């Protein structure tokens, strides 16, 4: 069964279904934004925009509406989640990066090239959308490698807490939220935050922990504004 789910045909079908669902959510949910001035659309600089992997079904409405200048998505697909990468690829251009296994020098070179492309994109004024706890978790923990893009590009990090109601939440590692069409949604923005160019690995890791807490707080705030019961549940 797992082999079937990982087949190119099934992943393509799932990607098309997810893309259609994201578009329906984008078109029908009534969105409320808090602290939207954090985006600062008058700023021509690049930006790194972070939201949790479990909210990927709601991403397009947000960055399409506010980051329309030059959005790209950093996509790190897992074997089972290639369809997510395919769906996002329909919504905006993507930079594909995969974690290389020990000894896989070819994939390691590809990963390094992808990260360099991401840094150059943000440094040149582009917007890069990232789920910093994907594709495998742990849930709601920013991987320090994500912030290396901000450190080396010198650009700011925007945090985006998203929630909708009514919505189902799956029991997987990321508690994927599936909003119902024609519901209400909330987005809470926080930032921009910066990473010191001279920060060493320990400082970047500490900054990742700090911003993880801020992004989770923004997400809980969005849940409360949307009236989703997840706001009252432990995460």
pLDDT above 90: residue 136:
no
Query: Alpha-carbon distance 221 to 162, whole Å?
Result: 9
Query: Alpha-carbon distance 48 to 128, whole Å?
Result: 5
Q: Is 183 exposed, middle or buried (0-12, 13-18, 19+ CB in 10 A)?
A: middle
**Residues 170, 172, 177: CA angle, nearest 5 degrees:** 35
E-assigned strands of the chain?
30-34, 47-50, 71-75, 94-96, 127-130, 156-169, 177-193
**Residues 141, 39, 192: CA angle, nearest 5 degrees:** 50
Model pLDDT for residues 86-127, shown as the tens digit of each residue: 787 777 788 877 665 666 677 678 778 888 999 999 999 888
Rounded to two decimals, what is the model's pTM?
A: 0.87
Domain boundaries, the chain: 2-232
Residue 152 confidence (pLDDT): 94
CATH number for the domain running over 2-232: 3.40.1130.10
Model pLDDT for residues 180-222, shown as the tens digit of each residue: 999 999 999 998 999 999 999 999 999 999 999 999 999 999 9
């Amino acid at each position: 069964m797992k082999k079937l789910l990982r087949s190119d045909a099934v992943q393509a079908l799932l990607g098309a279904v997810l893309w259609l669902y994201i578009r329906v959510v984008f078109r029908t949910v009534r969105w409320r934004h808090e602290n939207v001035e954090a985006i600062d659309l008058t700023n021509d600089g690049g930006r790194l925009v972070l939201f949790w992997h479990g909210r990927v079904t709601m991403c397009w409405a947000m960055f399409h509406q506010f980051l329309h200048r030059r959005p790209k998505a950093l996509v790190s697909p897992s074997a089972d989640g290639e369809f997510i990468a395919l769906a996002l690829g329909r919504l905006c251009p993507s930079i594909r990066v995969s974690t290389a296994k020990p000894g896989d020098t070819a994939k390691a070179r590809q990963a390094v090239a992808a990260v360099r492309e991401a840094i150059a994109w943000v440094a040149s004024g582009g917007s890069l959308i990232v789920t910093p706890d994907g594709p495998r978790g742990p849930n709601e923990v920013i991987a320090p490698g994500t912030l290396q893009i901000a450190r080396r590009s010198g650009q700011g990090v925007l945090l985006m807490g998203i929630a909708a109601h009514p919505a189902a939440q799956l029991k997987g590692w990321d508690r994927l939220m599936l909003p119902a069409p024609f519901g209400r949604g909330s987005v809470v923005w926080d930032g921009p935050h910066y990473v010191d160019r001279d920060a060493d690995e320990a400082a970047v890791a500490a900054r990742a922990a700090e911003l993880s807490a801020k992004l989770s707080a923004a997400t809980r705030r969005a849940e409360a504004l949307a009236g989703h019961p997840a706001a009252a549940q432990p995460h």
